[in-house]
Each structure stands twice: as C-alpha cells, then as structure tokens.
Structure 1
Amino acid sequence: MADDAQSAKPAAGAAPLRGPVLPAAMTGSLLGITAIALALGTFMQVLDSTIANVSIPTISGNLGVSTSQGTWVITSFAVSNGVSVPLTGWLMMRYGVVKTFVGSVVLFTIASFLCGVSWNLPSLIICRVLQGAVSGPMIPGSQALLIMIFPAAQRGTALAIWSMTTLVAPICGPILGGYISDNISWPWIFLINVPVGIVCAVVCWRNMLSRETPTRVVPIDRTGFFLLLTWVGALQVMLDTGKDADWFNSPAIIVEVIIAIIGFIAWLIWELNEQNPIVDLSLMKSSNFVIATVVSCLGYAMFFGANLLQPLWLQTRMGYIATWAGLVAAPSGVVAVFLTPFAARLMNRLDARWTASLSLLAFAASFYLRSRYTTDVGFAALVVPMLVQGVAMSTFFVSMVTLTLNGVPGQQVPQASGLYNFARITAGSFAASLVSTVWEQTATLHQSRLSEAMGAQDPAFVAAIGRLQSLGMTAQQAVGAVANQVVSQAYLLATDDIFRIASGLMIVLIPCVWLTKKALGAGAGHAAAD
C-alpha cells in the first residue's frame, strides 16, 4: 500500500549505498527504461498488498471456504512480509542491493505464478506466505537503486517517481482486483505479476549488475530470526483459526498460545543478549521511539482492518460486485496522490505532531461517517468517507516515520526502520485476523437481540409478514424474507459498531502523539539518517 512504501523511506536498504564511491549516474533512454523497471518492482509489491482485498468473497466462494477463512489470504501475506523486513538490511549488505532486489523480484514472480495455480485454500496460503516473505527487499531496494541511477541534482525526481508509484498502486489494486474477479478469474490477480516481474528482473539485471554495491560478510542472528518466526507465526495462526476452533475450548488454540508466549519470552531474552540481534531492542529505551511506534501500529491496524471490512460487507451483505466495491475504495488513493505534494511542503514547515494529529482526526472523521451507514446507503455516501480517508493518508505515514526516527542516532536508523516496519506490518496482519472475527461475533449478538425483540407475536413482525403475503409471498417465504432482513441489519450494526470504535480510538491516539518530541516535518527523520 502507499503506507508500506512511505514508511520504508529511510529503509535498511539504503545502508549499502554508504560505500566510498557511488557509480556514475545513468542518462538518456537507459535512465528512463531502468527507472520504469524499478518503479514496476515497487508497483507490483504494493499492488499485491491491496489487490486481493475486494476479491476475498470471490476467492472464498470459489475455494469453498467462509469469508473469514478467506481473509487468511491477506493475513498470510502481511505477516510473512513483516517478518522478512528485519532481514532486508543483512541481505543487501551480504549480497549487494542489485542482486538482492532482482532475486526478490524473480522469487516474487514465481510465488505469484504459484498463487495463480493454487487448487485449494491451504496451497494458496502457502504460496502467499512465500510471496510475502520474498517481497521484503523490493520496496527499500527499488528506492535505493533509483537514488543510485539518477544524477545528484535529480534525486528528488527519483524519490518523487518512487513515492507516486507507491500511491498509485493502492488506487489500481481494488479496481483491478474487482474487475479481474468479476470479468476474468480470480487467479489472474496474481498471474498478472508474471510478465511484469519478468520485464522488471531482466531490465534491472542487464542495466544494473555492473553497478552492484559493495558487499561484506556480516553475521546473522539465525536463532533470533527462528524465535521471531515461531512466536509471530503461532500468534497469527491462533488469531486466524480461533473462531472456527471455538477459541480456548480447543487444545490446539491453547498450544498455539503457549508456543507464542514462550517463543516471545525466549526471543526477548535472546535479542537482549545477542551481539548482532535480528531486531535491535535497545531502541525500546527511547520513549519517543516506543510511543510513536505504538501510535503508528494502532493507527495502521485500524486503517488496514477498515479497508478489509468495508469490501467484505459491501459484497457479502449489500450485493455489490467486486468491481464496484473496488471503485468505492479507490477515491482515497486518488485524494492521497493529489494531496501528498502539498502535504510534503506543509510538513517541511510544521511540527510533525501537528500533521500526525490532523491525519488521525481525518481518519476519525472517515470512520465516524462510515459508522452512520444504513442498508440503503448510496454509492456517493460510501465514497465521501473514502475521500476524507485520502486526506489522512497523505500525511499520516510520513508524519509517523518522522516522529519515530526523530532523535535516533544515524547508525541505528536502519535497525529502527526495520523494527518500525516489522511492528507496523505485523499489527496490520493481526488486525485483519481480528476484524473478521469480531465482525462475525458482533453480528451474531445483534442478530440474537433483534430476533428476541421481534417475536412471533410482535405487532411489527406480524404486520411485516402480512404486507409481504399481500404481495404474493407464501407465509414461509415472508418469514424467510424478514429473517434475511434481520441478518442484514445485524451485520450493518456490527459494521457500524466497529467503525465507531475505530473512530474513537483514533481520537484517543491524538494526545499520545503529543507525548513525542517535536520534529520539524520530514526533515527530522532524514536528519537522523544523515
């Protein structure tokens, strides 16, 4: 998504570029072709973070699983991507930025093909895990290489190309995913990556290999990475399968919780004593870093969960096809594209706490507007909150990166960026798992309450049955129609409840932002990096 890329701005991938001499910049058509290829690499990764959101009902129906199980297609990609982020800096230092980026693109392309030919949900989830795991270096790698090939005077242009690519992809994702699901076949939301990935890999390999960055043998914390993978994986599986397994009434869920707790404690102990940790937990000594990271994680979790919930509700309960659900989501990205250049100028003049607060307020307003939906809501009323969300997106991610990295010593910026991105992406994957579960359970509670309130002797129920029978329905058909309305209202109330809670939490986060240190715009984070 836009947020993934923007938050990776000071990514660990930039570290290998601090060698003694940078290669000469490219010029002419070679520069243009290579820049397009690198942008395509970023575009693919960000696109795949959003393209499946509107396709979950279609994928679930085709594979014969529930929509809550279908969301595992989203969470498996997100959590594996988050876990792979801490490895990015080590890979680029060990093998070079060019080889790491091209290798990541090649593996991502293969994983995309495997996703497209998956025959059931388990095979698709395995392939999505692979796809997320190998995509970690794509965003920081493309940014680092774009900066390398452009002349120094035009590196602002390079970053502009990179930033716009990361903003355009979330616009195209829902629309493209919806259109493909409705008019072609859902596997093509993954198969379209294959020709793009081949072109990107071939062009970058041919044009960039001679510009490979210096490499060196650096130690890697294998034990720390294994423990990280263990506790995050166990927790994610528990969140994904808990509802279907009846939570703590299931021995499997209890075992997963125990593994997650023991794995987390062991990971903490190991990382605090490891000389070259996979995640530098010494950063947690900075209250500024901790507060900003927590605010960013919670804000992103609600944003990510809301973006998953709305298309689910529209398609499963409101009769929207995937294309129209995608068109509802797209305006937020359009607004973000237009406002980001102006927001960047604003952030150069204002304390980042102000811009972060503005974005949280805009998110709260967007969620509040969505909490007032009814079952007869029109397309325009659905789009307006998304336009407001676009305002929030234009400043939130860069503002939070700036606040998070403010005051971090230059030599720790890559580690800080890696920890920040790992925490944020993982929070999003956990939110995706929780939102579908909470939605289903809240809807069940509302359905029970509505059914109790509308008994067989209730005057409103009797009147509704009578009106439907007067239209030609049998008594059984009339009761079924009323029952369907009760279910629709229950899911509407559950949707409104979740958006209302999200709006309130965004408001609560605003004073938390002001517990961080003053940071003047985007420059604070970059200053630290320099």
Structure 2
Amino acid sequence: MNPLKRQLLIFTVILAAIMELIDTSIVNVALNYMSGNLGSTLEDTSWVITSYAIANVIIIPMTSFLSNRLGRRNYYIGSIILFVLCSLMCGQATSIWMLVFFRFFQGLGGGALLSVSAAVVYEQFPKEKLGTASALFGIGVFIGPTIGPTLGGYITENYSWPWIFYINVPIGILVAISCYFLLPESPIKANINRIDWWGIALLIVGIGSLQTVLERGQTDDWFAATYILVLTITAVVTLVGFIIRELSIDYPVVDLRVMKSKSLSVAAILTFITGIGMFTSIFLTPVIAQRLLGFTPSETGVLLLPGAILAVFALVVSGKLLQSGVSPVLIIFIGFVCFIYFNWSMSHISLDTSARYITLKLIFRALGMALLTVPLSTLAVSSLKPQDMPQGTALNNMMRQLGGSFGISIINTYSARRVASHRVDLIGNVTTDNPTNIDRINSYTHYFQQKGLGLLDAKIRALKVIDLSIVKQSTLMSYIDSYFLIGLLFALALPLLLFVMKRAKKLPAGVVVSDH
C-alpha cells in the first residue's frame, strides 16, 4: 500500500473509532429533551444509554472471532452500515422503546469500530513504531468521549435531539466507502472451522446481565429489586461458566489464554482503572457544572476543550517518548499522578468555584488520560504474537468500557449514600438555638414579606429555601467525596507497576518482546 493510501486508511479507521466513542456520551445531555419529546420518564429514557453500553461490551471481546469468521473487511464494513442505519432509525424513533431497540443494535455495530480499528492502525506500523500507532489511535480513544457532551449540548440546544444521531450518517457513509477501497483483508486467519456457540451464548447472557446490573442497580435500589438479584446471580454463574469453557476448548470465541501475558494482564487492570477515571470524570464534571454551578450544556462542554486540545499533543509526545526508549512504566506513573492531582483538586471545589478553576484542573485530567492511553495500549500488546494482537486489543478495550460502567455505577451508589449522610449532618445545624440559622430564616422571611407574602407563608418559603440550600450543599459534598474516592483508587493501583517495571527496564527502545 502506498503511503497516501496508508495514511488515508489510518485516518478513516480512527475517524470511525471517534464516531463510535462519541456516541457513548453524546446522548447524556439530551436525555431530558428525549424524555419530553417521546413522553417517557427520565428513568425509561436512561435505557438509551444502558442499551448501547450493553451491546458494546458484549460485542467488543467477540470482534476478533467475528473478523476471522466473516472476514475482517466484510465484518468491519457491515458493522459500519449497521451503525449508520441504526443511527438513522434512532433519529426517526417515535417511542422510547423503539429508540432503545435501535440504540442496542447501533451499539452492536459500533463494537467493531473500536477493536478492529485499533488492530488496523497497529498493522500499518512496524514493531519499532508501535508507540506511534498507539498514540494515533489514542487520540480517538480520548477525543471521542471527551467531546461527546460538548457536541451533544451544542446540537441539542441549536437544533433537535435526533440530529445527534443523524450526524453519524454522512460520516459513516464516507468511512464505509473509504474502507471498501482501502481496507485489506486481515493478514492472519485463525481456525474458523468450529463455532463456539456455547461460548457466545454464555458471553452474551453474562455480560448483558452484568452490564444491566451495573447500569440500573442504583436506579432500582440494587438487590431490593428482584430482577437485579436474578441478573446478578445469572451474571456470576454464566461468566464463571464462560471462563471455564473458553480455557478448556481448542477454538474459543474469546481466547482468554492471551491473558497469560503478564504485560497484558497488568495493562488490562490499569486500563480498567483508567476507564473508571475517564468515564466518571466525564459524568461528574458536567453534572456539577450544570446542576450546581448553573452552566449551560454548551458552557459545560467548553470547560473540556482546552484540556482536549493539549491532550492531542500529549498523546503524540508520549508516543515519541516510547520510541526514544523512555520506560512506559514511567509515563504511566506520571499519568496516574496527573489524574490523582486532578481528583484531589476537584475534591476541594465549592459552590463559588469558577469556570477557570475547573478548566485548569481538567487540563491535568486530560494530560493524565493522554499519558496513560499510549503506554497502556502499547504495554497491552507488546508481549503478544501478531495473531494474538487483535484478541489482546479487544480484551483491553473491553476492560476500559467495563471500567467506565463499574465506575459510574459505584459513583452513583456512593454519592447517593453520601448525600443522605451529609444531609443529616447539615440538618443537625439547622436548630432554633443556632443564631446564624435564626438570622438566615428571619432574613429570608423578611425578603418574602417584602414580595407580598404573609408572615406564615413567608416563613414556609424561607424554610424551603434553606432546605434547597442544604440539598445543594450535601450534593456537592457527595461529589467531592466521589472525586476523592477515585483519586484514592488511582493511588492504590500504582504498586501494580512494580510487576512490569523489570520487564520495561529490559526493553530497548522500540523493541517488542514475546512471553510465548
């Protein structure tokens, strides 16, 4: 392939990955609009996010198998077409469950756009430039979820929510046409004579059940809901059965044997932690900015842009550092420190925190993510044989998505419990013998009396204002606790780097080794 076609192919598959990842977060800011337009509750509308996440996590580990079974080129282009058609149908949906249905199949199509895109990018570079390949693909991994809320907010405010799906159609068509002419068939073929139907079934049921529990647990009060309890038991039984089966047959749908690689195993765990940080920060920061600080969706999106721009350069720099012989462990360590500092800083915000302060701290979050994406991706595949790289990449990508689901689920539960705890503490200060509280009630009462209310009504309104203030402050305090928890999790994960430090020191610049 000549250099121009090669560069165009790399651009095309990275664009496809960005498009897929944007759709993981672009709908977050449009849920209220969808709910009102389709006449559904916000709880039902949240299945628009849940169904896509479930489909994504189910299909990602199967992409290597499906590529070999159907032919990578056919599978990839077919997935793009499915993604585009379902995007169009999502925009045309006239009911919430019609939207959820097509959103699920959009997620199935989107799964290939992540893992296969990564494998294609890696193939275009020699082993000594694996860091550059990781950097280029890392741009898509980072930019997608970061600009999703910004793009979704702009489109929803200035047009209408269906356009967050319609925007995929022209991009997807261009990607499909480009891949038709440029994408070669996979140079490596696995044995595809036998199909692991039981493995596929166990994976679909297990991951689908687990993802549903994670996405819906907090909303439905966890095990107080019978279906959550049933799905939890189902997930445990089927996933254990899946692992046992995949390790005991010759032609598994997901080759878990690649996890014998110490580098891949450690990278997968750290990628899981990184997924928690990536998705929870994208979840928490917009919520705080809009619900507590009064920012519009567009203003919230702008907070993320400076960091996203700097992160693109940081991704390239981290790739160059890897090529020049800098230990990936050192870069990962710096990335974790940046993320720890971001979460520590955000755990000190108040209701008076300025947009400038948040923007500056988000830069550290962005730099941390940029410095983690490239070396973790490189570390994940560095010790694998060429034929195992697609499977290793798929498993690593799945860990990132699962990390995001676990993280958001944990933070939702943790922050809800901390809100209740902080509310009790704050209400304890609202007493009749507290001079500050008495002055505040009297001040609000006098204010509402001036607005024409009687004494009793004015006092009731004053108490409601104080209660709202308590709710707002306790909510903020719960999110502060959440940032601290995430930062602590990153700090506790740092010792894992010791397990790959010795190997990293032995690696000359640009050399890829094998454990097998």
Normalised-by-shorter TM-score class: 0.7 to 0.9
Distance 1:380 1:26, change over 3 A: closer
- Percent identical among aligned pairs is 27
Segment of structure 1 superposing worse, 276-285 or 174-183: 276-285
Q: SS state of the match for residue 431, structure 2? A: coil
Deviation of the 1:499 alpha carbon = 0.2
Alignment match, 1:255: 230
* Matched letter for residue 507 of structure 1: A
Alignment match, 2:504: 519
* 1:206-355 paired onto structure 2 within 5 Å: 207-208=181-182, 211-213=184-186, 218=192, 219-348=194-323, 349-355=325-331
Segment of structure 1 superposing worse, 90-99 or 116-125: 116-125
Alignment match, 1:394: 370
Q: How many residues align?
A: 503
Unaligned runs of 5+ in 1: 1-23
Alignment match, 2:163: 188
Deviation of the 1:383 alpha carbon = 0.6
- Please, what is the CA RMSD of the aligned residues? 3.3
Segment of structure 1 superposing worse, 171-180 or 254-263: 171-180
* 1:379-390 paired onto structure 2 within 5 Å: 379-390=355-366
- Cα offsets for 1:99-156 (capped at 9, x unmatched): 2221111111112122223344443333332222111222344455568899999999
Alignment match, 2:343: 367
Q: Contact 1:361–1:510 (CA<8 Å) still a contact in 2?
A: no
Counterpart check, 1:93 vs 2:54: no
Q: SS state of the match for residue 492, structure 2? A: helix
Segment of structure 1 superposing worse, 301-310 or 369-378: 301-310
TM-score normalized by structure 1? 0.84
Deviation of the 1:38 alpha carbon = 4.2
- Cα offsets for 1:185-244 (capped at 9, x unmatched): 222111111122123223433x247x5457787133221121112122112222333334
Segment of structure 1 superposing worse, 168-177 or 108-117: 168-177
Q: Output the CA distance in 2 between the equivalents of 1:347 and 1:156.
A: 6
Distance 1:256 1:60, change over 3 A: same
Deviation of the 1:523 alpha carbon = 6.3
Segment of structure 1 superposing worse, 405-414 or 462-471: 405-414
* Matched letter for residue 426 of structure 2: L
Q: Contact 2:347–2:480 (CA<8 Å) still a contact in 1?
A: yes
Deviation of the 1:320 alpha carbon = 1.9
Q: Output the CA distance in 2 between the equivalents of 1:399 and 1:31.
A: 23
Q: Output the CA distance in 2 between the equivalents of 1:316 and 1:522.
A: 50
Segment of structure 1 superposing worse, 161-170 or 491-500: 161-170
Q: Contact 1:443–1:491 (CA<8 Å) still a contact in 2?
A: yes
Segment of structure 1 superposing worse, 250-259 or 237-246: 237-246
Deviation of the 1:159 alpha carbon = 7.8
Q: Contact 2:79–2:109 (CA<8 Å) still a contact in 1?
A: yes
Segment of structure 1 superposing worse, 58-67 or 467-476: 58-67
Q: Output the CA distance in 2 between the equivalents of 1:252 and 1:150.
A: 48
Which of 475, 478, 484 aligns to 2:468? It is: 484
Deviation of the 1:396 alpha carbon = 0.4
Deviation of the 1:55 alpha carbon = 3.6
Distance 1:525 1:504, change over 3 A: farther
Q: Output the CA distance in 1 between the equivalents of 2:134 and 2:378.
A: 16
Deviation of the 1:426 alpha carbon = 1.7
Alignment match, 1:434: 410
Segment of structure 1 superposing worse, 54-63 or 41-50: 54-63
Unaligned runs of 5+ in 2: 452-457
Q: Output the CA distance in 2 between the equivalents of 1:154 and 1:406.
A: 11
Alignment match, 1:459: 435
Deviation of the 1:45 alpha carbon = 1.5
Which of 459, 465, 469 aligns to 1:475? It is: 459
Counterpart check, 1:496 vs 2:480: yes
Distance 1:360 1:63, change over 3 A: farther
Q: Contact 1:174–1:330 (CA<8 Å) still a contact in 2?
A: no
Q: SS state of the match for residue 49, structure 1? A: coil
* Matched letter for residue 351 of structure 2: T
Alignment match, 1:78: 53
Q: Output the CA distance in 2 between the equivalents of 1:156 and 1:466.
A: 64
Q: Output the CA distance in 2 between the equivalents of 1:68 and 1:371.
A: 28
Segment of structure 1 superposing worse, 385-394 or 66-75: 66-75
Q: Output the CA distance in 2 between the equivalents of 1:128 and 1:72.
A: 9
Q: Output the CA distance in 1 between the equivalents of 2:245 and 2:133.
A: 40
Distance 1:51 1:529, change over 3 A: farther
Q: Output the CA distance in 2 between the equivalents of 1:522 and 1:115.
A: 50
Q: Contact 2:76–2:116 (CA<8 Å) still a contact in 1?
A: yes
* Matched letter for residue 504 of structure 2: A
Deviation of the 1:272 alpha carbon = 2.1
Alignment match, 1:11: none
Q: Output the CA distance in 2 between the equivalents of 1:368 and 1:166.
A: 24
Deviation of the 1:354 alpha carbon = 1.0
Segment of structure 1 superposing worse, 321-330 or 494-503: 321-330
Counterpart check, 1:42 vs 2:17: yes
Q: Output the CA distance in 2 between the equivalents of 1:375 and 1:366.
A: 18
Q: Output the CA distance in 1 between the equivalents of 2:9 and 2:264.
A: 36
* 1:102-141 paired onto structure 2 within 5 Å: 102-141=77-116
Alignment match, 1:7: none
Distance 1:223 1:101, change over 3 A: same
